[in-house]
Copies of this chain bind each other. A is one copy, B any other.
Amino acid sequence: MPTSKDIARLAGVSQTTVSRVLLGKPNVREETRQKVLSVLDGTGYVANEQARAMRTRRTGTIGVVTGRITNPFYPELIDALGTAITGRGLRMTLWASDADSGERAAMEAMRGRLVDGVVFTAATKGSPPLAAALRANLPAVLIIRSLDGARCDQITSDNLTGGALAAEHFLARGRRDVAVIGGDDGVSTSRERRAGFLDRLREEGVEVPPEYVIDTDFSHDSAKSAARALFSEAGGPRALFCVNDVVAFGVLDAARERGVAIPRDAVVIGYDDVKMASWDLFDLTTLSQPVEQIAELGVAKLLSRLDDPTRPFEHHRFQPELRIRGSAP
C-alpha cells in the first residue's frame, strides 16, 4: 500500500506537493498537479486517514448512541442519521446497547480522539457517562430525548404538544375512558408525552385515575401484558394513548388475544409513526415526528459546534402531526 512519499518519488516532486494536490490547495502549478494526479491514478493510492486525523485533529467520524434496536423506531432513526452522516462524506460509529455502556464507550472514543463528536439519542436522566461527557464539554448533541439543562444542543419532537393532540382527538370523539400506557419519568419523551396528554385532559375536566397511568418499559411484551390486564377489567378504559408505537403494537396484540375489536371496542393512539404503523394489520393512529429532519439537524448542529464551540446551546422542537388511521378514527 503506497504512501504519499512513494507518490512523491514516482512523480518527482516533494511529498508536500503531493499533499497539496490531494487537498486541492491553490498554490500548485497546473502542470505539476497533472503529473501528480496521473501517478495517483496509476497507483490507486488512498491517504491514510489515521495519519491525516492526527494532524488535523478531525477524524471524520461521528459517534451515534442509541438504545437497543428492539424498537423499530431506532432503525429508522439510525437510517436517517446514517444518511445525514455519510451524505457529508463522514462515517458513523454506532453503539446500540442497553444501559449506559454505549454512552461510556462513546465518551471514551471522544476522549481517545476516535470520533469528532457524538449524537446521543437515548438520553436518560441518571446516566453518569453522559453527564460526565457533557460536563467535560465534549462535543455532543441530544436528539429525540432531551435532558433539562444539558450543556449541548438538543433536537426533539414537541412531545407536550404531541400528547395534547392525542388528548384532543379522544375528547373530540367524546371519549373520557382514557388511559396512558408506557412511561418512565427518567426519559423525556414518555414523561412529556404523558404530561401533555394528561394536562390537556385536565383542562377539559377529565381526570385520569393514577391506576390508569401505567408505567411499563418500552417493550412490546410489557405493554401487551399491561393491556391484557386492562382489557380483562370490565369497566376499564378503552381509549388508550401509548407513549410510542411499539407499546401500541403490544396493546393491539393484547386486544387480539382478548377478542377486543379495534376500533369498535377500544381505540389506540401511538407515537412515532414508524413505517409499520401504516401496515394494514396495525393501521395505527399515531403522532409522527420528522425523523429525517431531526437527524439532519442534529448532525448539522454537532458539526457546527465543532467549528464554533462557544455558540450558545439551543433546543429545537419539531411539531408532531397526528396521523389518523383505523385504530382511532
Contacts and interface: CB of A to CB of B under 8 A. Distances in A.
Interface of A: 1, 46-51, 53-54, 59, 61, 68-70, 72, 74-76, 78-79, 82-83, 86, 91-97, 101-102, 105, 108-109, 111-114, 220, 249, 252-253, 256-257, 275, 279-282
Contact of A97 (B49, B86, B280): B86
B70 A275 contact: yes
Contacts of A78: 69, 75, 78, 94, 96
Given A68-B79, A220-B279, A93 B91 contact: yes
Contacts of A50: 50, 53-54, 59, 112-114
A1 B113 CA distance: 10
A86 B61 contact: no
Contacts of A96: 78-79, 82
Contacts of A54: 48, 50-51, 54
B108 A46 contact: yes
Nearest to A132: B44
A113 B68 CA distance: 29
Q: How many copies does the complex hold?
A: 2
Given A51-B54, A281-B282, A82 B59 contact: no
Contact of A49 (B46, B86, B113): B113
The 3 A-B residue pairs with the shortest CB-CB distance in the complex, in nearest-first order:
A46-B111, A49-B112, A69-B75
A102 B91 CA distance: 10
Contacts of A68: 79
Contact of A257 (B102, B109, B280): B280
B61 A69 contact: no
Contacts of A101: 86
27 contacts: A47-B112, A48-B113, A50-B50, A50-B54, A50-B112, A51-B54, A54-B54, A61-B93, A61-B114, A69-B76, A69-B78, A72-B75, A74-B75, A75-B75, A78-B94, A82-B94, A82-B96, A91-B93, A91-B109, A91-B114, A92-B93, A93-B94, A94-B94, A220-B275, A220-B279, A253-B281, A281-B282
